[in-house]
Structure 1
Amino acid sequence: MREMKDSGIPWLDKYPATWKLKKIKYCLQERIEKNNPVRTTEILSLTAKQGVIPYEQKEGGGNKPKEDVSAYRLAYPGDIVMNSMNILSGSVGLSQYFGCVSPVYYMLRPWNIKEEVRYYNYIFQTTMFQRSLYGLGNGILIKESGNGKLNTIRMRIPMDKFGGLFIPVAPAKEQKRISDYLDKICTEIDALAADIQTQIDTLEQYKRSVITETVTKGLNPNVEMKDNGIQWIGMMPSHWDCIRGKYILKYIQKPVREDDGVITCFRDGEVTLRSNRREDGFTMADKEIGYQGIDVGDLVVHGMDGFAGAIGISDSRGKASPVLNVLGTEQNKRYIMYFLRSMAYSDVFLALATGIRVRSCDLRWNKLAELFYPVPPIEEQDAIVAHIDSVLQKTNDVTTDKKEQLAVLESYKKSLIYEYVTGKKEVPAQ
């Protein structure tokens, strides 16, 4: 057991007596190279989940990059790239690419070429270090919402403040041993996590296939079928009707109450008050022109994001932008909801609708009203909904368990990184 000494830094606590404490600015230098004249049009992006990647590989979209990249900064392979607005949430990664990034990014590399950039990157990956950045300089403001949840307001962390922080610095040879070992262990953990994520994705696809198959084919595999001539429905039970939406659905506009909170229809199908999920990242309208009331049990279709599954039954009373279509029907609302989701899963809305932004479409009442819907007898609708609900509940239970496994693996990886880059554990002898 090697000798340890107190750092006087809460997040670090004790570190090896043979190591040094140094300010970041004396360990790493900032690369500030503008892409002017333009040397590359390869735009890089950074996320806590994916690290530094070409922008087109980014999951979930995000802010569209500028077409003029001359004001961007250059990033090189081996640079630590960090988002000055999102450092504490894990937006730090080691670049493997040459490209350009937004000016809000910092690029860092060791002053001493004998030192290991991976070691410093691992320090910045630790949750303990990231949490130590709360309140740094201009800081990250934390606002408490009405339901007690904490929401972050992003503010730029200046490099002079960041560079003044102390970090543990192992000898160069030990930095390499630590980095090599963590690369090996993290690769193994990431492989396990990727396998679990594949299982989750498979379950999600299974759920979608059950919904799509059941709302168009029913529960009886031996029933007589007919072709209704509608491409996205295909063969369906011969005793079912196929009816335009305007004959079975009603477009509803309800008044807003004074104490109504704002409701959002999310892409996972949940329709709920924003305060029940999150309030950061939304743009609030100065004037709520056209806002409408929504009641518990209302069927809601998002006019912009319905193509991605933002279709559900509201669990809350509140108000919403007119971009949400509120629908009433004498049919089983959950059956209609599941059918519309099946169309979203099959990209039917994208094929039918006029695009107004990337991976989106205008899905308003006039289009919902003209669509054809398979309409079984109401008792069959009820049975179909009960079956789908049951399948989804079982698969969701399994998915929840697997997501917990992912969280445990991620926590374990973070703790391992922390233990080794702070010297609390030594790399095992080879």
Structure 2
Amino acid sequence: MTWLQAKLKYVAHFAYGDALPKDQEREGDFKVFGSNGAYDNYGRANTQAPVIIVGRKGSYGKVNWSDHPCFASDTTFFIDATTTHHHLRWLFYLLQTLNLDQGTDEAAVPGLSRDDAYAKKVFIPPLGEQKAIAHYLDIETAKIDQLIKAKKRLLALLDEKRRALITHAVTRGLNPDVPMRDSGVEWIGEIPKHWEILPLRRILQTMDYGISESVGSEGNIAVLRMGDVDEGEISYDNVGFVDDVDHDLILKANDLLFNRTNSLDKIGKVAIFRNNFLFPVSFASYLVRMRCNDSVIPEYLNYLLNSLPVLTWAKSNALPAIGQVNLNPNRYSYIKIPIPPIEEQLNITEYIQTNTKKIKKLCLSSEETIKLLQERRTSLITAAVTGQIKIT
């Protein structure tokens, strides 16, 4: 291979994007690009076409492409025909191999340093080979992208199947021949005749707000926050800590937590505490703890409260706040829900667990395939732009 090697600064100039005027209407034919891609429209462009947009702040280092003139915002750099004499599509692929997302966290807002990017050394093939490499990668990455898209679609279908399975089980039961009756609740519809409809508060011992103290990275007691509760389970990846908490606010196994304050897509979501963490665990004030009485199995109630009809009700009854929504716990406690006999709750819970495990296994397989395809895509681009494979 006889390709030249040079610093990126001699290959392309990273031009700064512009601040989007706040007092002008967001209308027009030109896409506005931020670090994470297109997010708005505007009446004029500040680039030529085609153009590469590189994230500078926020999702820094992310490399985007536009076939049309666009408005590159002030959180981005851009590269078009005015800032490089090399083939733009080849350069688009080259930039994806340079780990530009490994910027600096030293500034108040982490970002990509232009000088750091300029210092990276790259191989520069002749213009004809640049065009051939870009053409080759357009074809081959499109094939991989189609496979990834198909797998992601399968994941979406599996998730829909999981949600439908849970919703049917907790609102209709498992016996298709059981006599049905009108629940008297429009969004629930018919339920098995022998089931009860009760307000949530009737099946709870207590509902408690969490602590309002600030959390740190060290302490004796872990504190769950609103981002730690999702899809019926608790994540401990980002928990905070405090030194001391009122003993009554320490979670016990089978306590349920619901999001009373969060984004609209997460409001009302519930998770069950399984007492499987190394530290005692409490919870922040944006969460509410629910402790069940003997008329309901916590695992069953966890499935029920995360079912589509209940979450839809929660969203419709949440009140907007700045950047999020709030669901009043007292209002939530009056939601009417279907409650089967205890033995039936056990059977439904076992049925859901058995069948969702099968679905999860299929999801994990698809996710692993997506990961391998993404790795294949990255390796292919790297091999092409570094001359490891001959392309003519």
User: TM-score scaled to structure 1, two decimals?
Assistant: 0.76
Partner of 1:120: 91
CA shift at 1:176, angstroms? 0.5
Partner of 2:224: 263
**For residues 32-73 of structure 1, what are the alpha-carbon distances to aligned partners after superposition, in whole Å with 9 as ceiling and x for unaligned?**
3535776975533443xxxx33359xxxxxxxxxxxx99x99
Partner of 1:388: 352
What is the count of residue pairs matched by the alignment? 368
Partner of 1:355: 320
- Report the 3-state secondary structure (helix = DSSP H, G, I; strand = E; otherwise coil) of the residue aligned with 1:261: strand
Q: Separation in 1 of the partners of 2:359 and 2:199?
A: 32
**Relative to structure 1, is the Cα distance of residues 375 and 76 closer, same or farther in structure 2, using a 3 angstrom cutoff?**
farther
Q: Separation in 1 of the partners of 2:202 and 2:288?
A: 16
Contact 1:267–1:308 under 8 Å retained in 2: no
**Match for 1:311 among 270, 281, 292?**
270
CA shift at 1:387, angstroms? 0.7
**Match for 1:322 among 281, 285, 310?**
285
- Report the 3-state secondary structure (helix = DSSP H, G, I; strand = E; otherwise coil) of the residue aligned with 2:221: coil
Q: Separation in 2 of the partners of 1:192 and 1:406?
A: 8
Instruction: For 1:198-213, list aligned pairs within 5 A.
Output: 198-213=153-168
CA shift at 1:395, angstroms? 0.2
Q: Separation in 2 of the partners of 1:213 and 1:320?
A: 31
Q: Separation in 1 of the partners of 2:305 and 2:105?
A: 41
- Report the 3-state secondary structure (helix = DSSP H, G, I; strand = E; otherwise coil) of the residue aligned with 1:130: coil
Q: Separation in 1 of the partners of 2:198 and 2:221?
A: 35
**Match for 2:252 among 292, 295, 299?**
295
For structure 1, which segment, 336-345 or 200-209, has the greater mean C-alpha deviation from structure 2 after superposition? Answer: 336-345
CA shift at 1:140, angstroms? 4.0
Q: Separation in 2 of the partners of 1:101 and 1:248?
A: 55
Q: Separation in 1 of the partners of 2:307 and 2:329?
A: 18
- Report the 3-state secondary structure (helix = DSSP H, G, I; strand = E; otherwise coil) of the residue aligned with 1:355: strand
Contact 1:28–1:108 under 8 Å retained in 2: yes
**Match for 2:99 among 122, 130, 148?**
130
**Match for 2:190 among 229, 235, 252?**
235
**Match for 2:208 among 236, 240, 252?**
252
Contact 2:229–2:258 under 8 Å retained in 1: no
Q: Separation in 2 of the partners of 1:364 and 1:374?
A: 21
Q: Separation in 2 of the partners of 1:207 and 1:301?
A: 20
**For residues 296-347 of structure 1, what are the alpha-carbon distances to aligned partners after superposition, in whole Å with 9 as ceiling and x for unaligned?**
4321111124863531112444232111111011211121111111146762
CA shift at 1:226, angstroms? 0.5
Contact 2:209–2:289 under 8 Å retained in 1: yes
Q: Separation in 2 of the partners of 1:398 and 1:239?
A: 35
| Structure 2, gaps ≥5 residues long | none
Instruction: For 1:22-33, list aligned pairs within 5 A.
Output: 22-32=6-16
**For residues 365-414 of structure 1, what are the alpha-carbon distances to aligned partners after superposition, in whole Å with 9 as ceiling and x for unaligned?**
21221100111001111111111111111100110000000000000000
Q: Separation in 2 of the partners of 1:306 and 1:105?
A: 27
Instruction: Give the letter aligned to residue 263 of structure 1.
Output: L
Partner of 1:183: 138
Q: Separation in 2 of the partners of 1:322 and 1:302?
A: 10
Partner of 2:54: 82
**Relative to structure 1, is the Cα distance of residues 413 and 242 closer, same or farther in structure 2, using a 3 angstrom cutoff?**
same
1:193 aligns with 2:148: yes
**Relative to structure 1, is the Cα distance of residues 99 and 350 closer, same or farther in structure 2, using a 3 angstrom cutoff?**
farther
Q: Separation in 2 of the partners of 1:29 and 1:122?
A: 16
Contact 1:261–1:318 under 8 Å retained in 2: yes
Q: Separation in 2 of the partners of 1:27 and 1:419?
A: 19
Partner of 2:333: 369
**For residues 93-146 of structure 1, what are the alpha-carbon distances to aligned partners after superposition, in whole Å with 9 as ceiling and x for unaligned?**
2223544344221112356765211111111212xx217x75x6xx347xxxxx
- Report the 3-state secondary structure (helix = DSSP H, G, I; strand = E; otherwise coil) of the residue aligned with 2:326: coil
Partner of 2:119: 164
- Report the 3-state secondary structure (helix = DSSP H, G, I; strand = E; otherwise coil) of the residue aligned with 1:28: coil
Contact 1:22–1:167 under 8 Å retained in 2: yes
Contact 1:31–1:107 under 8 Å retained in 2: yes
Contact 1:253–1:293 under 8 Å retained in 2: no
Contact 1:267–1:305 under 8 Å retained in 2: no
Q: Separation in 2 of the partners of 1:35 and 1:86?
A: 15
Contact 1:292–1:321 under 8 Å retained in 2: no
**Match for 2:235 among 272, 291, 298?**
272
| Structure 1, gaps ≥5 residues long | 1-15, 57-68, 142-152
Q: Percent identity?
A: 22
- Report the 3-state secondary structure (helix = DSSP H, G, I; strand = E; otherwise coil) of the residue aligned with 1:81: strand
- Report the 3-state secondary structure (helix = DSSP H, G, I; strand = E; otherwise coil) of the residue aligned with 1:312: strand
For structure 1, which segment, 165-174 or 78-87, has the greater mean C-alpha deviation from structure 2 after superposition? Answer: 78-87
Instruction: Give the letter aligned to residue 104 of structure 1.
Output: T
- Across the aligned residues of Structure 1 and Structure 2, the Cα RMSD in angstroms comes to 3.4
Instruction: Give the letter aligned to residue 409 of structure 1.
Output: L
